[in-house]
Amino acid sequence: MTTRALSESDILVDDQPYWAAFNPALKAYEIFRQQATHSVRCATIGKSLGLERVRQEIARRKAADAASAR
């Protein structure tokens, strides 16, 4: 099976520094955290859980980031 690189048009949720895209090979959403020079995948959420669950996970991670920055 061949996979293709993600492009900007694949981004479904963009809430910096996090963004998410659907990976059809995994049949799942992947959440990435933008670093200085690249993005790192930090979560994978099954397609059946849906895009709303992706948004909730990003919000949870942003809240945890803010709490740890204090």
**Mean of pLDDT values over 16-22:** 97
Residue 34 near residue 16 (C-beta atoms within 8 A): yes
User: Of 52 and 8, which is predicted with more confidence?
Assistant: 52
Q: Is the dihedral angle over the CA atoms 1, 9, 46, 18 positive or is it negative?
A: positive
Tell me: pLDDT of 60 over 70. yes
Residue found under tokens 């809430």: 15
pLDDT of residue 69: 87
User: Of 17 and 6, which is predicted with more confidence?
Assistant: 17
